[in-house]
Amino acid sequence: TEGGLLLAIETSCDETSVAVVRGGREVLSNVVSSQIDTHRQFGGVVPEIASRKHVESITIIIEEAVREAGIRLEDIDAVAVTQGPGLIGALLVGVVAAKSLALALDVPLIGTHHIAGHIYANRLIGEILYPSLALVVSGGHTEIVLLEAEGKFRIIGRTRDDAVGEAYDKVARALKFPYPGGPHVDKLAQEATEEIVLPRSWLEPDSYDFSFSGLKSAVLAEINRSRMKGESPDFSALARGFQQSVIDVVTGKAIRAAKEFGARQMMLCGGVAANRGLRERLAALCEEADLPLLIPPHNLCTDNAAMIAAAADLKWRHGQFSSLDLKAEAVMSL
């Protein structure tokens, strides 16, 4: 597999992405076609529309990724695909495309876990030191994962209701921002001069789980309270309060877990890693704890196929291939 060419496909949600990666770490192309503009008018991702859009773009994106990489399709040595978790109809499009390619080119197929992809995106920017602690925050996931060794994942904590990005998007909607509103709330929070202090959801003292639905409700309650009094709610102070609560809890738990499990490194992964407040706080806490921190650039944090290649490469090295009856899995354990 040294220097081998891997073509990876990711279609678990609303991005159709195909990448060509050499030797697991050298990204030759990473084409991402986002459907955001289509879904925005509905205020969120519509699964049925997502599947149809993937069908329309998948072959075009494969061709584009191959062309951009400057290779021929016949040069591909293995095909990787996100097997799950995600929207089942969306996953199916990628899985069928990957199987067809593997069959036609007579090369191995490697089914890959989406979260392993988000985590191993860090292989594309640096060296992973085990044990490593990953904080995965996206629109669909919020997890603290301990990597005890290569390919050995242990979920230490997860959200019991909304994912962080989902909570951001719901609060953003209440503050009248378009979908996806996370970046707008982040910006408003950064600019705020006042803060409405909101509760912190720490759950049980020893728990690494999260819950954000109470915090979201607290924001809505504040808005209603202002309106009842005939006042207009202070959106920026609310955004600030929401953001501070999220950052306190998420970074607080990640650092505590890193210490408890003796992690040698921290990794921040997923689309919410774009949040400036979150990055800055985690960087400060890691420095204090003398813990090296890896954060991939934005295009490798949001859904993309290069991260799937980075994870699949490790399975390839260990000869962990999938058969052609690989099934897409909406729910899948790491």
Where on the chain is the footprint of Zn ion (CB under 5 A)? Answer: 138, 303
The one of ligand KG4, Zn ion, none whose footprint includes residue 108, by CB under 5 to 8 A per kind, is: none
Q: Does 186 bind ligand KG4 (CB under 6 A)?
A: yes
Q: How far is the CB of 50 from Zn ion (least distance, A)?
A: 13
169 is in an annotated binding site: yes
271 binds ligand KG4 (CB under 6 A): yes
| Residue from 124, 275, 309, 313 binding ligand KG4 (CB under 6 A) | 275
Residue 182 Cβ, how far from ligand KG4 at the closest point, in Å? 2
Please, are residues 155 and 144 in contact by the beta-carbon 8 Å criterion? yes
In 10 A of CB 82, how many CB atoms? 34
* x/- track of binding to ligand KG4 for residues 136-155 (CB under 6 A): --xxx---------------
Of Zn ion, ligand KG4, none, which one sits near residue 139, judging by CB under 5 to 8 A according to partner kind?
ligand KG4
How many residues belong to the site for ligand KG4 (CB under 6 A)?
19
Answer yes or no: is 122 a known binding residue.
no
Nearest to 119 by CA among 110, 107, 132, 108: 132
Site string for ligand KG4, 155-184 (x = CB under 6 A): ----------x--xx----------xxxx-
The answer to the question of residue 198 lying near ligand KG4 (CB under 6 A) is no
CB of 13 to ligand KG4, least distance (A): 5
Measured between alpha carbons, how far apart are the two ends of the chain, in Å? 23
Residue with tokens 């207009």: 232
Contacts to ligand KG4 from residues 231-270, by CB under 6 A: 270
Kindly tell me which of 96 and 274 has the beta carbon lying closer to ligand KG4. Answer: 274
Q: Reduced to 3 states, what is the DSSP secondary structure of residue 299?
A: helix
Place of tokens 């695909």: 81
Looking only at the bridges linking them, the beta strands covering 265-269 and 109-113 are unpaired
Q: Which does 167 bind (CB under 5 to 8 A by kind): Zn ion, ligand KG4, none?
A: none
Contact predicate 12/94, CB 8 Å: yes
Residue among 22, 103, 80 at smallest CA distance from 305: 80
- For residues 37 and 26, the answer to whether their CB atoms sit within 8 Å is no
| Phi and psi torsions of 167, nearest 5° | -65, -45
Q: Which is nearer to Zn ion, 76 or 95 (CB)?
A: 95
Residue 182 touches which of ligand KG4, Zn ion, none (Cβ within 5-8 Å per kind): ligand KG4
The residue length of the chain stands at 334
Long-range contacts of 148-153 (CB under 8 A, 24+ apart): 150/314, 151/314, 151/315, 151/318, 153/115, 153/116, 153/119, 153/334
Q: Please choose, out of 60-68, 71-79, 133-141, 286-294, the segment that lies near ligand KG4 by the rule CB under 6 A.
A: 133-141
Rounded distance, CA 102 to CA 113, Å? 18
Nearest CA among 310, 252, 305 for reference residue 34 = 305
Task: Supply the DSSP string of 3-19, one letter for each residue.
Answer: T-EEEEEE-SSSEEEEE
Nearer to ligand KG4, 90 or 101 (CB): 90
The residue (of 169 and 209) whose beta carbon lies closer to ligand KG4 is 169
40 Cβ neighbours under 8 A, 6+ residues apart: 178, 179
The single-letter code of the amino acid at 171 is: V
Residues 12-51 that bind ligand KG4 (CB under 6 A): 13
To Zn ion, the closest distance from the beta carbon of 202 in angstroms equals 26
Min. distance of Cβ 138 from Zn ion in angstroms? 4
Binding residues: 114, 118, 136-140, 169, 182, 186, 275, 303
Q: Which residues of this chain interact with ligand KG4, rule CB under 6 A?
A: 13, 138-140, 165, 168-169, 180-183, 186, 270-272, 274-275, 302-303
